[in-house]
Amino acid sequence: MGAQSHQPLKTILFCWQHDLRAHAQRLMYIGMAVLKKVAVADITLGMYIHEICGSWMDHPFWKSGFTLESQTDLYSLQSSAVTEVWIDTAKGLDLPENVVSEESAAVAQRADALLQSAMLEPVTPVPPVAMLDEIKRALDLCERSRAAVMTMFTEVRMGKAIDIDTADGLVDEMAQSILRHPSALISLVRLKNADEYTYMHSVAVCALMIALARQLGLPEKHVSQAGLAGLLHDIGKMSIADDILNKPGRLTDEEFAKVRLHPVYGAKILLTNQPAVSALAYDVCLHHHEKYDGKGYPKKIAGEQISVFARMAAVCDVYDAITSDRPYKKGWGPAESLQRMAQWDGHFDPKIFQAFVRTVGIYPVGSLVRLSSGRLGVVIEQNQATLLKPKVKVFFSTKSKVPIEQVVINLAHAQCQETIIARENAEEWGFPNLDDLWRD
């Protein structure tokens, strides 16, 4: 099957404390839930909000899974940039019969069709350097980038100018790493501690912007400019107090309103910076929270009124945000995040979103997947010829409910009969250190 034996099962395999009874109860609840995707305008008190559709920066709520009981909460939701939510009618009020909604199966099917349509265009050429070889270099680059961005942003907070030479140097190093192997760096920058999110998020969006620009076939000059724009897109957060940015609970309406002003704060910083930052970086900083349907902020512009680079940044920013752990919420898995993003009507330019899927893969590195054999595995590398058949390291049997010997399977191998049949949630399975597998 194109399989290759790897080292024996490690004792660190997730410090495995797997509670099968709790997992079965979670799956039972999911099967009982009656989920409907509805417009925010149709929400009423008494409904159970299962999940809010959109980036966590779009709304002031620090958690999903609550009954909407407060008129204040209803107003906050309706006043936010959120346009749709999932309700669970088994735990709260249902919609009136005359109100249109979508059920989960139809939404998931439509989202999968959008993801798979990304394969209609060619993907990035085969990298010249092996994934594991580039990971070693990318680890050092991540650490140096984190320290440099922390210093740069701290100086901006103190009123100093942005160190453009340092920023350009980081962008150039990341561009070279992504040229050698795009999956190495963009997979590593997803892994960050909640307390360093503000800095590493900027590094991650820089790397994603570079990789996406290359996928779109942009000239190399524009690739570098896209990377710099990604690095500086959240510079406006330096005008917001850390106790608001890192608040572990729900933001007040006043705090949330201030956070939503960070694109305006950032544009002002870039406009007054000496030496001057490019107009492209200014545009991305100001408009990376705009939505394709015109319901974003701060300008509420739509479609091609939003520049290509700002539309790119909108996708990169959200993907890294929702895959990252925050003080108030654990990040979603990479494949799960893409599938959810594909469900959010009107958020992204469809063509740019599909190019992003080709950049990271339908099942990005680090995704937990279930194979047709019943084994669970983590995606360790993309196959450039087909996004549906990455390389997977299997480690657990869902049939016997025990860890198994770790083996790498190339699903694109001609003799391999296995396929991916589902995305899985690592937290629900009790695998806290899943990312340790693909980096080894």
Handedness of CA 5, 11, 12, 13 (dihedral sign): positive
| Model confidence pLDDT, tens digit, residues 259-285 | 999 999 999 999 998 888 999 999 999
State the CB neighbour count (10 A cutoff) for residue 254: 9
Residue 26: half-sphere exposure toward Cβ, Cα within 13 Å: 12
pLDDT of residue 147: 95
Mean pLDDT score, 8-25 = 41
Torsion of CA 333, 337, 340, 341, to 10 degrees: 180
Q: How far apart are CA 85 and CA 46, in angstroms?
A: 14
Which of 362, 380, 355, 361 is CA-nearest to residue 422?
362
Mean pLDDT taken over the chain: 88
Segment among 38-52, 100-114, 343-357, 390-404 with least mean pLDDT: 100-114
Domain spans in the chain, listed from the N-terminal domain onward: 3-20+364-439, 33-100, 120-360
* Confidence (pLDDT) at 274: 81
Q: Residue 6's pLDDT band (boundaries 50, 70, 90)?
A: very low
Give CA–CA dist 406/324, Å, rounded: 26
Output the pLDDT for position 124.
Answer: 66
Please state, for a pLDDT cut of 70, what percent of the chain lies above it: 91
Q: Show the tokens assigned to 280.
A: 């492209």
10 Å CB burial of residue 417 (0-12, 13-18, 19+) is: exposed
For residue 397, what are the CA distances in angstroms to 49, 161, 346?
A: 33, 55, 39
Whole-angstrom Cα distance, residue 44 to residue 258? 27
How far from 145 is each of 34, 148, 186, CA to CA, in Å?
45, 5, 13
pLDDT classification of 304: cutoffs 50, 70, 90:
very high
Q: How confident is the model at residue 62 (pLDDT cuts 50, 70, 90)?
A: low
In one-letter notation, the amino acid at residue 254 is E
Structure confidence at residue 437 (pLDDT): 85
Cα of first residue to Cα of last residue in the chain, in angstroms, is 21
Q: How far is CA 123 from each of CA 140, 232, 270, 356, rounded to the nearest angstrom?
A: 27, 27, 34, 10
Residue 181: pLDDT band (50, 70, 90) is very high
| Nearest one of 259, 307, 260 to 283, comparing CA atoms | 307
Among the ranges given (22-36, 79-93, 320-334), the one the predictor scored with the smallest mean pLDDT:
22-36
Q: Can you give the pLDDT at residue 12?
A: 34
Tokens linked to 341: 């993003």
How many beta carbons lie within 10 A of that of residue 175, not counting itself? 21
Residue 347 in this model has a pLDDT that exceeds 50: yes
Q: Which two tokens stand for residue 360?
A: 């990271």
User: Which of 208 and 198 is assigned the larger pLDDT?
Assistant: 208
Q: Answer yes or no: is pLDDT of 1 > 50.
A: no
Beta bridge partners of 378: 368, 393
Please say if the pLDDT value at position 40 is more than 70.
Answer: yes
- In the numeric block, which tokens belong to residue 144? 């140096």
Six-digit token string for 134: 């580039």
Nearest to 364 by CA among 310, 305, 330, 322: 322
Q: Are 168 and 225 in contact (CB under 8 A)?
A: no
Write down the pLDDT at residue 28: 40
Residue 11 confidence class, pLDDT cut points 50, 70, 90: very low
407 neighbors 3 (Cβ within 8 angstroms): yes
Instruction: Note the pLDDT of residue 100.
Output: 81
How sure is the predictor about 32, in pLDDT bands with cuts at 50, 70 and 90?
low
Is residue 350's pLDDT more than 80? Answer: yes
Cβ atoms of residues 13 and 395 within 8 Å = yes
CATH number for region 120-360: 1.10.3210.10
Give the rounded percent of residues in the chain with a pLDDT score beyond 90: 65
Q: Check residue 253 and give its pLDDT.
A: 85
Cβ atoms of 139 and 184 closer than 8 Å: no
Is residue 15 within 8 A of residue 433, CB to CB? The reply is yes
Whether 288 contacts 309, CB under 8 Å: no
For 390, the token pair is 């990455």
Is residue 288 within 8 Å of residue 262, measured between CB atoms?
Answer: no
390/380 Cα distance (integer angstroms)? 8
Q: Distance between CA 226 and CA 229 in Å, rounded?
A: 5
CA distance 308 to 302: 12
